[in-house]
Structure 1
Amino acid sequence: MTVQDSAAGPADGAALAAFTAEWEAWHRRQQAALADAHGFLAITGQHWLTADPQRFPDAPGAWSTGEHGVTVVLDDGEELVVDGTAVRGRHSFGVIPERGGVNAVWQDAVIEVARRGGQDLVRPRHPGHPLRTSFSGTPAYAPDPRWVLTGRYTPFAEPQPTTVGAAVEGLEHVYDAPGRIEFTLGGREVGVTAFNGGSPGSLLVLFTDATSGLTTYAAVRSLRVEAPDPDGRVVLDFNRAANLPCAYTAFATCPLPPAGNRLPVAIEAGEKIPHERAA
């Protein structure tokens, strides 16, 4: 099967209005999640833990990690709430799995304890952080049905462990890639490696294109793809190409695209460079 650019899409005014309204609702949800009181815009620091206890200006306690996982030692008068229970003194978070995390509440902040790229870290999230309070939304291209494409998903015989870089220099992520998506883009046959999405059967594509670093964030954009139909057909709506948190803050460990996911065409759709980075 040869995959072609999709010609299907809203053709009349009412359908186009509905298409645009659906996109606008999606974009509002994106912005609301990003600007949540304890979302990525609220992060005030990204502190990598070592065996030596360290104190940080935006979190209580002295933090360390070792064979038995992450530990914090709280001074008199300091308190965290973990899973609804107040803890004082010494508290062990145990061994945190890769890409896992625990949130501990401190006053109006959340202290994220996580593991990324084989290393433990602490990321305090304060609602009053200026990056969050001054957030005015993300610019984006106007939604256009011509950027809704069809593709063919082909699963690998076995998921393939795929190592990618990260927004943090020297850090790497390893994901199991279940397959590839092939489609036609700007008259060219292209293919991208797909990772598992957030819901059963869905897929996630990390990519750059010819707009990257010009009108869109240079390092990566992401596209969520619904589960393939029984024939392997998928829909790629590049109007919903989204920034990852690293587009807004240096305190993120976002994965970068696999080498083969650098598309040779300018995809003038989806989210653009955030105002925070453009400055």
Structure 2
Amino acid sequence: MNATVETAIGEYEAWQQKRRDAVTAPLGNLALVLTHWSPAGAPAVDDATAREGQPDSAVLTRLQRTDIDTGEPQEGYRIWRADSPANQAFEGIEYYDYAPEWVIEGRFELVDEQRVVPFEHLRDAGATRALPVSGDLVFDLDGVEYRFAAFDTDHDGHASLQLVFGDTTNGRESYGAGRFLFLDHPGATSDLAPGDSIPITIDFNRAIVPPCGFSNQMNCPLPPLQNRLPVPLRAGEKRVRFFDGFSI
């Protein structure tokens, strides 16, 4: 094993520990016990009502979104508990071994800064929500070019691309609804115009189980058809492991 791969494996193991720390944190995915949305256009539920029946240690956070049917603003809240059933039953995250072949050099093509793409979400009963997709991740795999839509988001405090993808391991070896991958947004530091492209490294070893794999109170986007690989992608996180008998 060469030094470069040894270093990459060490970084991969450190990243795994960072992920465990994140999902078990007070506001980590495992701590979410309730997500509630008021009817479209209705005022937000007051704090006392939202916290009813919850211990003093529970954390209340607020949400806003656009109602999928009416387009009106919708107010919501979440309750987080460090003693959630999922946190207590959590054993760990299963991983593939580090796979250097899944560190792929590709390019980001800026298509249109105003483009949106409809993404189906797990808890929306087949309806779609339009998410901003300013460009495509383009890469070659075994002589085949793939063009994946990655939507614009803020991750860890900086502009990112969020890739929602599927492959043939889903439901067999990895989480059934697909996985996520976050990349630094090349357009945030480069002066790109529609039609321009810039090289980007796509490290699928950083693929993660979506938040909905840790809590059934999350509503995750699902991979669109163009983001589904017809081959197994054995890199990154596989699935969440709980004690026998526990299910989210």
Task: Indicate the residue corresponding to 1:238 in structure 2.
Answer: 204
Task: Indicate the residue corresponding to 1:160 in structure 2.
Answer: 115
**Partner-residue secondary structure (3-state), 2:27:** coil
Asked if 1:144 corresponds to 2:95, the answer is no
- Matched to 1:111, the amino acid is L
Whether the aligned pair in 1 keeps the contact of 2:212 and 2:218 (CA below 8 Å) is yes
Whether the aligned pair in 2 keeps the contact of 1:178 and 1:195 (CA below 8 Å) is yes
CA offset digits 1:129-152 (Å, max 9, x no partner)? 121123222001011211100101
- State how far apart, in whole Å, the 1-side matches of 2:160 and 2:27 are: 26
Identical-residue share of aligned pairs (%): 29
CA offset digits 1:12-53 (Å, max 9, x no partner)? 433222111101111211111111123221122233324xxx
Q: 1:193 to 1:74 in 2, by over 3 A?
A: closer
Q: 1:219 to 1:117 in 2, by over 3 A?
A: farther
Task: Indicate the residue corresponding to 1:35 in structure 2.
Answer: 24
CA offset digits 1:27-84 (Å, max 9, x no partner)? 211111111123221122233324xxxxxxxxxxxxxx745x3131738xx989xxxx
- State how far apart, in whole Å, the 2-side matches of 1:133 and 1:189 are: 43
Task: Indicate the residue corresponding to 1:70 in structure 2.
Answer: 44
Asked if 1:212 corresponds to 2:170, the answer is yes
Q: 1:173 to 1:15 in 2, by over 3 A?
A: same
Whether the aligned pair in 1 keeps the contact of 2:181 and 2:207 (CA below 8 Å) is yes
The root-mean-square deviation of aligned C-alpha atoms, in Å, is 2.8
Task: Indicate the residue corresponding to 2:131 in structure 1.
Answer: 175
How far apart are residue 128 of structure 1 and its match? 0.9
Whether the aligned pair in 1 keeps the contact of 2:31 and 2:81 (CA below 8 Å) is yes
Asked if 1:125 corresponds to 2:95, the answer is no
1:265 is aligned, of 218, 231, 238, to: 231
Q: Which has the larger radius of gyration?
A: 1
Q: Which has the higher contact order (CA 8 A, sep 6+)?
A: 2
Give unmatched runs, 5+ long, in structure 1: 1-11, 51-64, 81-104
Aligned length: 227
- State how far apart, in whole Å, the 1-side matches of 2:227 and 2:57 are: 40
How far apart are residue 200 of structure 1 and its match? 5.0
Whether the aligned pair in 1 keeps the contact of 2:35 and 2:217 (CA below 8 Å) is yes
- State how far apart, in whole Å, the 1-side matches of 2:124 and 2:55 are: 30
TM-score normalised according to structure 2 size: 0.81
> Runs of at least 4 residues of structure 1 off by over 4 A?
none
How far apart are residue 153 of structure 1 and its match? 1.2
- State how far apart, in whole Å, the 1-side matches of 2:161 and 2:200 are: 10
After TM superposition, the structure 1 stretch with the greater mean CA deviation from structure 2, 245-254 or 199-208, is 199-208
- State how far apart, in whole Å, the 1-side matches of 2:237 and 2:120 are: 22
